[in-house]
Structure formats: C-alpha cells, structure tokens
Chain A
Amino acid sequence: MIVHMVRVRLAGPSARLDDVLAFVQRLGVLHVVRPEVLESLTGAAQHARAARHCRRLLDDVEFAYTTLGLTRPPSAPVAPASLPRAARFARRVRRQAAKLAKQKISLEDERVMLLRYREFFSAFESLIGHELAWPDGQAFYVVLRAGAVSAVQELRKSLVKAVGEEIELLDRPLPSGEIAVLILVSNTSAPKVAKLLSESRVQELPAPAGLGEKNLLRAMPALRARLAELPRALETTAAERRRLAEVSGQELTALRTWLHDQLLVIDARAKVHAGKHLFVLEGWLPEVQREQLTTLSGKELGPEIVVEVLATEQWQGDNAPVALSNPPLFRPFEVVTRMLPLPRYGSIDPTPFVAIFFPAFFGLMLGDVGYGLMLAIIAVVLRFKSKPGTTLRAVSAVGGACAAGSVLFGVLFGELFGNLGHVVGMKPLWFNREEAIVPFLALSVALGVVHITLGLVLAVITSWRRGKTREALGRSVAVLMVLFTVVALLAAFEQLPRALFTPFVVALLVAFPVLIALEGIVALIELLSTFGHILSYARIMALGTASLMLAVVANKMVGAMGSVVVGVVFALLFHLVNFAIGVFSPTIHALRLHYVEFFGKFFSPGGVEYRPLSTWRDHQKHGT
C-alpha cells in the first residue's frame, strides 16, 4: 500500500529558521521540497559555500576516521565550540593519521622485500669466501629461473668465450628451485661481463637501496639487522595509531555525526524560501503524522511558527513522495517491488499481490517436498545470518515463503525428490504432474487468466482514480472481452454448456467496436498481446514438468550405474544440480511473469522515494 501523504507549509520569522529546521530534523517525518509557487529566495550561493566548507571538513574527518580504523557507531552530535578550531583539529588528525598509515605501508613493503631476499642470503652467503679471495675482482650476482641447469653451462661458455679464463662461476640451488649464480671477474673484464649479462637479459640481483652498500654480500649483515628491527618498528607505528585513535576518537566521532547532520540541514535549507523577515518551508509527511507535527510544533516552536496543511487541490498528486507500508507478512515482498523503480504516488502498490502470487507460482514450478525443505533450510540460515531490516532478511523471508509454497504443492502433487515420494507411500492429493500434463497446462493458463485479469482490473482502478474515465471504461471493456473469450473457448471445448458459446461470441463482437471507439486501434494490439501474456503462463507447467523429469532421471541413476553406491552418489549430485536449477529458474520466471505480464497492465513507475529530513543516525539506522 502506498502511504497517504499530506503537504504542509511551515512559515515564520526568518530568525527562527534554524530552530524550525532543528525541530523538523529531530521529528524526522517531513520530506522537504522546494515550494513551487513562490519566487526563489533561497540564497543558493550562500548555501553552496556552507555545504562546501562542511564537506571539506567532513572529508578530513572521514579520512582520519577510516585511516585510524575507528568503528564506533554514530554518537550524539556535538556542535564544536569553535568551527575553525574543529577544522584545525580534523586537519591535524588527518595529517597524523596519513603519516602513520604511510609509515606502516612503507615498513610493510620493506619487510616483504627483505623477506623475498632472505632465501637468497643463505645461498650467496656460502659463496662469500670466494669473493673475498679475489679482492681485486668484481662480483655479479644473478638468479636463473627454476629448471635452467643447462643455462648455467651456457652462461659459463658464453663468459669464457667473451673474457677468456679470467672468470670464476659458482652456482647454488635455491629452495624455490631457482639457481643462485656468483660470477667473479677481474676489473678489466667486468664491463664485458656486465654487457653480456645485459644482452642475455640475465637480471643481476641488486642490494636493496638505502643501506649504503651496493654489494649484496657486504649488505647482508645490515639487511639481517633491519629485518629483525622491522616488527618492532611496525608495532611502534600501530601503538601510535591506537593512541591517536584513543585520544581523538571521541571528538572525531561526535564531530562526524554533527557534520553529517549539518549537511542534511544545509540540503534542506537550500529548499526553503527565506527572505529578510520571513521563511516558508514546505514538505510532505504521512497523513497519520500530521497531528504529531502540528501539536509538537505548537509546543516546541510556539505560536510564531504557522503550520498549514495544504488542500489536495493545491498540489499535484504525482509529485508526492512514495512510502510503501504493508502488513508484516507482505513487507518482505517489497524487495521484489523495489527491484523496479517505485510506483508513482496515487497508483497501486503491487506488493500484496506479489506476496500471494510469487510463492504460489514458485511452488507450482518447484512443487517438491524435498527441494522445498532444502530451500527452507537455506532460508533459515539466511535469516540467522542477516540483520533485521536488511535486504538479506527480506530475501530470507521471501525464500521461506517460496519454500512453503514448494512443500505445499509437493504434498498436493505427491512429490518428494521427484517420484521418490511414491516409494515411501506418498500419494498425490491433487494430481500427478508426471502423468497429468494437460490438466497442469490448463491450470497454468487458468492462473494466467486470473493474474492478467486482476492486472487489468487494477489498471481500471488506477485510471479511475486519476480521473481518466474514458481510459477506465476502455480497460473495463478489455477485461470483459478477455472473460468473454475465456467463456466462449471453454464452451467450445465443452467444459461449459455449449449453449453459452454463441451468446458470448456475440457479446465479443459487440464489445470489439466499443473498445476501438474508446481506446483506438492500439487497443486491438494490446488485447492480442494480453492473450499472448496469458499463454505465457504455460511456462509454469513447462518448468514444473522439466524439474520433475530431471528429478525422475536422477532417481533412475541409482539402478542404472551397476553399483548402488555409485548410483546413489550420482543421483545425489544430480538432485543437487536439479535443486540449483529448480531454485534459480522458477525465481527468474516468477519475476518475469510479474514484471512483464502482470505489472505491465497497471504499474506506473517513476515515484520519488519518501526521504524525510532526519538525523544522520536515523538515516544509518534505516539504511537510507
């Protein structure tokens, strides 16, 4: 159901505007809009500047808040004693937090890099004596990729060819499978070796920068010492971050809440017409809360502030914001409605109809006690893993309703994991889907007739409410024509007395020109598409039968695999696959039947969501 809204106007001295906005924010029921009649006196530039300052300050606060890893819930807003001081505080904490974060990243990077070097240390360390035994020479450290044993020989050959016998090449395997190679050459031959290594794209392993030593072996003691120091340095940084979070956390959280609240007020203030002496604030609120607003306004704001409820004739119903309100049993299905844009104010909220038909269609398609119970388990798990009011909680409720539908129709069709129910003595209470394909098809199409006719009736009501009498009459004729056609067809197939055929065909022929006269030639196309939509409900039978047949095939696997154990395993796997398909496919097709066939008849999207001016804490609580 779409909540009935009223438009109210609050007016009073401009000096009281701040009080009024604070009151409206506290109350949290008024969806503020810009008055349409009066000339704008909002001082947009001034508000834009205030909003810019607030956002800049909030940016600092949010950065510090996130960087310091604060997870406190929004606290009570505390207005800072001095805004410049608060700005300086936020900037200072931001700078300190950024510095600590940068320091932490740098230390972690350094640690990761040094750890990468660690395995090379031990391999090269054993070669150190050779380098020191050739003090006038130059050493090159290279790492060859894993499995390149022949590459060592090739490297040796190339080096000997380039510089003669003035080299020494030593190699050691690394734990990673790579090969550490030390090449010692005389100073005169070193440039040639460097060139050769560069040309053969063999990467020399350099010592990490910042240790004052380019030679890897000589840098090793310093590297080891640094590696040992790093955890301590990291812990010091973390402690500083914790201390900063502790010292500034409370003030930061309060300031954050206050700034968010201020931004909401600034946004609302931009919609208020405020002159030198007077202000006018307009907004929407649910009719049931009108009394609360007027009473509390009188009490808290005094007689200076006038609250006036605008007459319905003074506003366009289409512009009113939309709030959905449904009984708790139907409310979770709002998630299905909200997957499309909200319905316009004054149109019909389809949620109650979705709550009835969606689980029914799903149950008819899946229709199996076993699969229904599996889905129920998933729904229960989702319920325990979700928080109240979240989308996941709504999905769990919808899943639960669909599971109930599946179990119910499973009992009616006598199905438990396909035809396994027959083995344990389950009998179909209604009909057996495996055999009664035509009755199942007839049931599906009959449901289509009911659903589509309901959609058309809702379309008539919508048109009537909007004062479009001609359109309402045209749609009524379309409803009658659908019903006449159904009766004529049933009479033709002798499901109803044959005598009804001629009168209903005549009635159809009479209704046809009336429909064209009321709605034009397009109505004919719409009528034909309506019959197409009704036939589209045959998918309920098609998907239901396919799901059942797959379950039957899964059961047949037990006896078809030679070994019973292998057969059972295959059957279980096949049932699992069928369950996955059986949940996914009916969901998509039940959604499609609603969105395309049913909603297409009456749904008018384009509603604006009702978002009252409230505190940021309330916004967070309601997930808006």
Chain B
Amino acid sequence: MELALLSVGAALAVGLPALATAWAQGRIGPAAAASLAEKPELATTTIILIAIPETMVILGFVVAVMILLRGGGAG
C-alpha cells in the first residue's frame, strides 16, 4: 500500500508539472512562431523562451526520483 502511494506521489510529482509545462509551451509556441514569421532574428530568444517552462517538469522528475529512492521504490 505504501509503495502504491509512493508511486502515485511520484507520478503526480512528474505528471502535474508535465501538464503545466505542456500548457505553458502550448501558449509560448504559437506566439514564438508568429514572432519568427515577422522577425527571424528572434530565433535564439524564442528557443530559450520555449525551453524555460521545461524547468518545471525537470524539477518534477527530480522530485519523483527522490520520492521513489527515499521510499525504496526504485533501483
């Protein structure tokens, strides 16, 4: 039971930020594409802007790994 709860916790830790990242990138992507159509020189800035929300899911992944390691559910 405890392992199941840990797994759900880990899944939520990575899943919810993944949804948030997807939502944020879904908003940034079209805006970036529109900006690039008018100003191609903004390519670097747009790549960075799209990569910024990924921090959420990456930190979520780290937290999920920590949950599983602490609970003995990984490895």
Identify the A interface with B (CB < 8 A). 339-340, 435, 437-438, 441, 535-536, 538-539, 541-543, 545-546, 588-589, 591-592, 595-596
Q: Which residues of chain B are within 8 angstroms of A596 by Cβ–Cβ distance?
A: 48, 52
Please give the distance in Å from B42's CB to the nearest CB on chain A: 11
- Pair A539/B44 contact, Cβ less than 8 Å: no
A538 near B52 with CB under 8 A, answer: no
> For the complex, is B36 an interface residue (Cβ under 8 Å from A)?
no
Q: Given the known A-B contacts A435-B75, A437-B69, are A588 and B51 also in contact in the complex, defined by CB atoms under 8 Å?
A: yes
Known: A435-B75, A589-B51. Is A595-B62 also a contact (CB below 8 A)?
Answer: no
CB <8 Å contact, B58 and A591: no
A–B Cβ pairs within 8 angstroms, 15 of them? A340-B44, A435-B75, A437-B69, A437-B75, A541-B62, A546-B61, A588-B47, A588-B51, A589-B51, A589-B54, A591-B44, A591-B48, A591-B51, A592-B48, A592-B51
Set of chain B residues within 8 Å of A339, measured between Cβ atoms? 43-44
B48 CB contacts on chain A under 8 angstroms: 591-592, 595-596
| The one of A438, A441, A542, A592 that contacts B52, using a Cβ cutoff of 8 Å | A592
In B35-75, the 8 Å CB interface with A consists of: 43-44, 47-48, 51-52, 54-55, 58-59, 61-62, 65, 69, 74-75
Q: Is the interface of A mostly helix, strand, loop or mixed?
A: helix
Interface size class of B (residues with CB under 8 A): 10 to 19
Q: How many A-B residue pairs have CB under 8 A?
A: 43
In the complex, what distance in Å separates the CA atom of A271 from the CA atom of B13?
Answer: 62
B39 to chain A, nearest CB (A): 13
Q: How far is the CB of A437 from chain B (nearest CB, A)?
A: 6
| B69 in contact with A539 (CB, 8 Å) | no
Taking the closest CB of chain B, its distance from the CB of A109, in whole angstroms, is 32
A116 to chain B, nearest CB (A): 36
Contact A438 B69 (CB under 8 A): yes
Please report the C-alpha to C-alpha distance between residue A546 and residue B48 in the assembled complex, in whole angstroms.
Answer: 21
Which A residues are in CB contact (< 8 Å) with B52? Answer: 592, 596
Closest to B63 in A: A538
CB neighbours of B61 from chain A (8 A): 542, 546
Contact of A539 among B54, B65, B74, B75 (CB under 8 A): B54
- B47, B58, B65, B69 — most chain A CB neighbours (10 Å): B58
A538's partner among B43, B58, B69, B74 (CB-CB below 8 A) is B58
A542: chain B residues within 8 A (beta carbon): 58, 61-62
List of A residues within 8 angstroms of B75 by Cβ: 435, 437
**B55 neighbours in A (Cβ, 8 Å):** 536, 539
Instruction: Return the 8 tightest CB-CB contacts between A and B, nearest first.
Output: A339-B44, A592-B51, A539-B58, A542-B58, A542-B61, A538-B62, A588-B51, A595-B48
Is there an interface contact between A437 and B65, defined as CB atoms closer than 8 Å?
Answer: yes
Enumerate chain A residues within 8 angstroms of B69, measured Cβ to Cβ: 437-438
> How far is it, in angstroms, between the C-alpha of A435 and the C-alpha of B55 when the chains are bound?
23
Chain B residues, CB < 8 A from A441: 62, 65
Chain B residues with CB below 8 A from A592, complex form: 47-48, 51-52
User: How long is the Cα–Cα vector from A596 to B55 in the complex, in angstroms?
Assistant: 12
Tell me, in angstroms, the Cα distance from A437 to B62 when the chains sit together: 9
Given A339-B43, A591-B48; 7 other pairs, CB 8 A cutoff: A339-B44, A437-B74, A438-B69, A441-B65, A542-B61, A592-B52, A596-B48
Q: Closest Cβ of chain A: how far from B35's Cβ, in Å?
A: 16
What is the distance, in angstroms, from B6's C-beta to the closest C-beta of chain A? Answer: 15
Contact residues in B for A535 (Cβ distance below 8 Å): 59
Give Cα A400 to B51, complex, Å: 24
B47 partner residues in chain A, CB cutoff 8 A: 588, 591-592
Residues of B within 8 A of A538 (CB): 58-59, 62
Complexed CA–CA distance, A241 and B58 (Å): 62
Complex formed: what's the CA distance from A538 to B55 in Å? 9
Measured in the bound complex, the distance between the Cα atoms of B69 and A541 in whole Å is 15
The chain A residue sitting closest to B55, CB to CB, is: A536
Closest Cβ of chain A: how far from B43's Cβ, in Å?
A: 8
Would B58 and A595 count as touching, CB distance under 8 A? no
Contacts of A539 in B (CB 8 A): 54-55, 58
A394 to chain B, nearest CB (A): 15
A27 to B13, CA, bound (A): 63
In the complex, what residue of chain B is closest to A444 when comparing beta carbons?
Answer: B62
Contact, CB under 8 Å: A595 / B65: no
A460 to B51, CA, bound (A): 28
CA distance A568 to B68 in the complex (A): 32
> How distant is the Cα of A589 from the Cα of B57 in the complex, in angstroms?
13
Give CA–CA (A592, B59) in the complex, Å.
15
